[in-house]
Amino acid sequence: MNLKSEFLDAMSKLISSVHIVTTDGGFGKAGATVSSVTSVCVDSNSPIILCCLHKDSTAAPLIIKNECFCINTLKNDQKEVADIFSTHGSNHTDSKFQISRFESLTTGAPVLSDCLVSFDCKLLSSDLIGTHHVLIGEVQNLKTHSGLPLLYGNRGYVT
């Protein structure tokens, strides 16, 4: 096994929450399923969060142009939302946003109404590291609901 496949194998042992990252604005609406979300810092008044999105995704260029995104953490009964938002291509955008109810908070990025947590962010930077944009956002607003997160690990959803 080479280091790349060893790395992928090692990463598959980690368990992550599952989110959909969404955007909307003058350049259009998009959304994708992501697990690569982490808090960066909470020292300032506006906490900082990041997610990593492939440069060839439909969502990444629109997030960069709209300069906003919302990270919506899914509940454990929202696997169907994760499945639809992991289908690639702009021809799936309408069906993605028809699957549930969305609202907006501060930035205008779509906020999934019945998810666990939504972090509504202004884009701070979007460095391209290899194949992925590291999208760093300043949290402008957030919403939380009770429930348990949808988890992904060992190349599948954890039940």
Ligand X SMILES: Cc1cc2nc3c(=O)[nH]c(=O)nc-3n(C[C@H](O)[C@H](O)[C@H](O)COP(=O)(O)O)c2cc1C
Residues found near ligand X in the complex (CB under 6 A): 18, 30, 32-36, 52-54, 57-59, 82, 86-89, 132, 152
Cβ at position 63, least distance to ligand X in Å: 9
CB of 131 to ligand X, least distance (A): 8
Nearest CB to ligand X, comparing residues 43 and 63: 63
DSSP 88-116: -SGGGHHHHHHSS-EE--SS---EETTSS
Asked if residue 76 lies in contact with residue 151, where contact means CB atoms within 8 angstroms, the answer is: yes
Q: Which is nearer to ligand X, 44 or 88 (CB)?
A: 88
- In eight-state DSSP terms, residue 146 is S
Beta carbon nearer to ligand X, 97 or 152: 152
Q: How far is the CB of 158 from ligand X (least distance, A)?
A: 11
For ligand X, the closer of residues 89 and 130 by Cβ is 89
Hey, what long-range contacts does 100-105 have (CB within 8 A, 24 or more apart)? 102/22, 104/24, 105/70, 105/140, 105/141, 105/142, 105/143
